Amino acid sequence: MSNPVYKFDTLKIRAAYDPALHNQAVSPPIYQTAAYEFRDTKNADGLFALTDPGFLYTRVNNPTVDILERRVAALDGGSAALALASGMAAISYTFLTLAEGGGRILTGPYLYGGSADAFHKIFPKFGIHFDLSPNIDRPGDLEGDIKPDTKAIFVESVSNPTGAVADLEALAALAHKHGIPLVVDNTFATPYLLNPVKYGADIVVYSATKALNGHGNLIAGIIVEAGPEGAPPFPWDNGKFPQMEELQYVLRDRADNRKRSYLEAAPGGPFVTRIRLHYLNYFGAALGPFDAYLALIGIETLSERVQKQVSNAEKIIAYLEKNSHVAWVKHPSLPSDPYHKLAQKYLPRGAPGILSFGFKGTVEQSEAFLNAIELWSYHVNVGDARSLIVNSPKTTHGELTPEEQKLAGIEPNLIRLSLGLEDAEDLVADLDQAFAKVFGA
Ligand SMILES: *Cc1c(COP(=O)(O)O)cnc(C)c1O
């Protein structure tokens, strides 16, 4: 009998761990250690040259963190992954590497507030400039925005908070035509709803703080690199990325003592390996083994949690659409949504359970509404087990100017909801009582 084709390959969630090597323990151990004893000098040489498998120092790699990295790479169909202390570290190290020494990144106006803020305020000081093009929605018109020193195209697969869905296949084709990679922030969708690598993305970044872990109890980031198993490997030696071809002293070949580059020393994941041994090694945003362990537990229930969030969102949308105090509802699952067609193509299991609506009323009424909410949590996170409500223009996207908010489709009366795992009817009941407190029954 041939192997079954699974609808969702849960085996990948359990990948990269063999209980037989750990006294049959079913849950991966937490390797709470700073360093690793080298067997002998030959072993130390081999570890540093990347010719021997193993661990160097927990700032750079750790067995518990390694399981997390391999599982997320497997879930996304990538060749390798790197876990970091936050989603912002994943984003920052990715662009510091791609545009090392200066360059431009082409992106759109639909960005996580923290990313938009960093792109404005800190990256230009490193000579890295972001072009926020409204053409990101029309890949056919985007070509003119690619400049000689553009080093990557960057999008969020499903954006925050308006749910803009990126046309990954078209963007990947355009990026590759110009010899640059497509980088996708897939935080909202998670590998359960979307695998950007399948559509040509070269690098996928996550804030694992959000739905990937899903329990609001840690901060973590992950970078996944496409490769032989998913998309073809990116041609890093095309002349645009000399940093990937630099010969490294530590990567010397033991046979002939010749210096090697990351392309040679780590052909299965040169990009994340370079970040590991440069930006992670030197700047140090390492994920601790305990947080990696928590993330491993969180990911065990990824499919169940995300399915419930998707179905809860559908029920809340149905309620909001009939509510006279709601001016509009934005979610790519709605046939009227401008991204509905793209959602049908890229999100066949459903669009992430994050939506926004326009509050019909004064600022005071909208504040009274938020203060009357009981069951939903009022804080800035998404994809959590708890259902969350937040006034984005004043909080998550408060650093954007009114013009930038407008360009990003964030209207002043926008309220963002992120569905959790509570009962949908209870969530509706809570919204209902809060509206009633403000407007009367
Ligand atoms: C939260 C978030 C980030 C940043 O992640 P942290 O783990 O908070 O550093 C990046 N991108 C998106 C889309 C996010 O929602």
The CA 112 to ligand 1 mean position distance, Å, reads 7
The C-alpha atoms of residue 61 and residue 198 are separated, in whole angstroms, by 27
**Residue-wise DSSP of 74-112:** HHHT-SEEEEES-HHHHHHHHHHHHTTTSEEEEE-S---
pLDDT digits over 333-369, tens only?
A: 999 999 999 999 999 999 999 999 999 999 999 999 9
Residue 76, C-beta contacts closer than 8 angstroms, at least 6 positions apart: 186, 191, 195, 196, 197, 204, 224, 230
Could you tell which of 84, 154, 184, 187 is best to mutate to test the pocket of ligand 1, judged by most ligand atoms within 8 Å of the CB?
187
Work out the pLDDT band at 231, boundaries 50, 70, 90: low
Work out the pLDDT band at 228, boundaries 50, 70, 90: low
Spatial contact of 251 and 270, defined as CB atoms under 8 Å apart: no
pLDDT digits over 255-296, tens only?
A: 888 999 999 999 999 999 999 999 999 999 999 999 999 999
The C-alpha atoms of residue 330 and residue 411 are separated, in whole angstroms, by 11
pLDDT digits over 172-203, tens only?
A: 999 999 999 999 999 999 999 999 999 999 99
Q: Is residue 232 predicted with pLDDT exceeding 80?
A: no
Could you tell which of 72, 86, 88, 222 is best to mutate to test the pocket of ligand 1, judged by most ligand atoms within 8 Å of the CB?
88
Work out the pLDDT band at 5, boundaries 50, 70, 90: confident
The CA 90 to ligand 1 mean position distance, Å, reads 9
Residue nearest to atom 8 of ligand 1 (CA): 87
Q: Is residue 415 predicted with pLDDT exceeding 80?
A: yes
pLDDT on residue 378: 94
Burial of 9 (0-12, 13-18, 19+ CB in 10 A): middle
The CA 87 to ligand 1 mean position distance, Å, reads 5
| Domain boundaries for CATH 3.40.640.10 within the chain | 11-297
Q: What is the dihedral of CA 430, 413, 187, 313, to 10 degrees?
A: 40
Q: Is residue 137 predicted with pLDDT exceeding 90?
A: yes
Phi and psi (nearest 5°) for 105?
-120, 130
Q: Where are the alpha helices (DSSP H) in 122-261?
A: 139-142, 168-177, 190-193, 242-245
How big is the CA angle at 225 (ends 340 and 174), to the nearest 5 degrees?
50
**Least reliable range by pLDDT among 142-146, 327-331, 389-393:** 389-393
pLDDT digits over 298-323, tens only?
A: 999 999 999 999 999 999 999 999 99
| Domain boundaries for CATH 3.90.1150.10 within the chain | 303-439
Q: In the beta sheet, which residues pair with residue 390?
A: 416
Cα separation values, 382 from 4, 30, 149, 386, Å: 34, 27, 34, 9
Q: Is residue 126 predicted with pLDDT exceeding 90?
A: yes
Q: Which amino acids bring their CB within 6 angstroms of ligand 1?
A: 86-88, 112, 114-115, 156, 160, 185, 187, 207, 209-210, 219, 221, 382
Q: Is residue 213 predicted with pLDDT exceeding 70?
A: yes
pTM score above 0.85: yes
Return the structure tokens found at 240: 């645009």
How would CATH label the architecture of 303-439? Alpha-Beta Complex (3.90)
Mean predicted lDDT score pLDDT of the chain: 95
3-state secondary structure of 186: coil
How much of the chain, in percent, has pLDDT values that exceed 90? 87
Cα separation values, 28 from 12, 86, 170, 181, 206, Å: 14, 22, 40, 34, 22
pLDDT digits over 143-168, tens only?
A: 999 999 999 999 999 998 789 999 99
pLDDT on residue 274: 97
Number of helical H runs and strand E runs in the chain: 18, 11
Closest ligand 1 atom to 156 CA: 13
pLDDT digits over 14-29, tens only?
A: 899 999 999 999 999 9
The CA 71 to ligand 1 mean position distance, Å, reads 20
Return the structure tokens found at 177: 């035509």
- Element spanning 281, H or E: helix 281-283
The C-alpha atoms of residue 382 and residue 161 are separated, in whole angstroms, by 10
How would CATH label the architecture of 11-297? 3-Layer(aba) Sandwich (3.40)
400-405 contacts, C-beta under 8 A, 24 or more apart = 400/113, 400/116, 400/117, 404/109, 404/116
How much of the chain, in percent, has pLDDT values that exceed 70? 99
The CA 1 to ligand 1 mean position distance, Å, reads 44
The crossing angle, in degrees rounded to 10, of helices 363-372 and 424-439 is: 140
pLDDT on residue 229: 61
Spatial contact of 156 and 188, defined as CB atoms under 8 Å apart: yes
